[in-house]
Amino acid sequence: MATDFNTKLHSILENFKDGIDKGVIDTLKTKACPEIIQLIFEQRSWKDDTYNLRDSFGWGVYYKGKQVAKGYLEAVPKATEGDRKRGLMGREQVDAFLDNYETQFYDDIELVFVAGMYYAGILEWRDMLLGFLNAEKYAKDNAIEAIRKVEFKRYIKKG
């Protein structure tokens, strides 16, 4: 009987955790990731010439080793032709990176933010790094506050 109880309790708690994870993922893809990638982009000091670097800014959400969401700085790419040196399109580069990314955490949620053009780091290594660091600080500072505001009582009801 204890084994049956433990099995059922484990199942209930796993379903509860999966529901919380789904809520976190939904919030990440609809609010947090778009805001963070915007914050990263706002740190730039370069001017858009072809819009390919801008188009290569994106984010991915991975859950249990699989991509569950991805997005971009802007919904519609702005570049109309490839970069001057290799002819690469920014949106294609971010998609290639995110779609082929191998996750580091197989039992958790993992976020990836990327500027996918090969010259991103060369063009603005210092400012881009600061943008990513500022966004990481923003995410850490606001994550705890967001978790505190979650109303767990809607998940737990007295029988």
Contacts 24+ apart (CB under 8 A), 98-104: 98/58, 98/59, 98/60, 98/67, 98/70, 99/67, 99/70, 101/60, 101/62, 101/67, 103/62, 103/65, 103/66
DSSP SS3 for 102:
coil
8-state DSSP, 111: E
Quote the tokens at residue 72.
Answer: 């971009």
pLDDT for position 18? 75
List, in sequence order, every beta strand (DSSP E) within 7-159.
57-63, 66-72, 109-115
Residue 119 to residue 93: CA distance in whole angstroms: 11
pLDDT for position 156? 41
**pLDDT class of 153 with cuts at 50, 70, 90:** very low
Quote the tokens at residue 86.
Answer: 């290799």
Using a cut of 0.85, tell me whether the model's pTM lies above it: no
pLDDT for position 154? 45
Report whether pLDDT(27) > 80.
Answer: yes
- Tell me the mean pLDDT in the region 99-124: 81
Average pLDDT of every residue of the chain: 79
pLDDT for position 10? 76
- Tell me the mean pLDDT in the region 100-119: 85
pLDDT for position 157? 40
Residue 92 to residue 97: CA distance in whole angstroms: 9
pLDDT for position 57? 93
Residue 113 to residue 34: CA distance in whole angstroms: 10
**pLDDT class of 92 with cuts at 50, 70, 90:** very high
Residue 139 to residue 134: CA distance in whole angstroms: 9
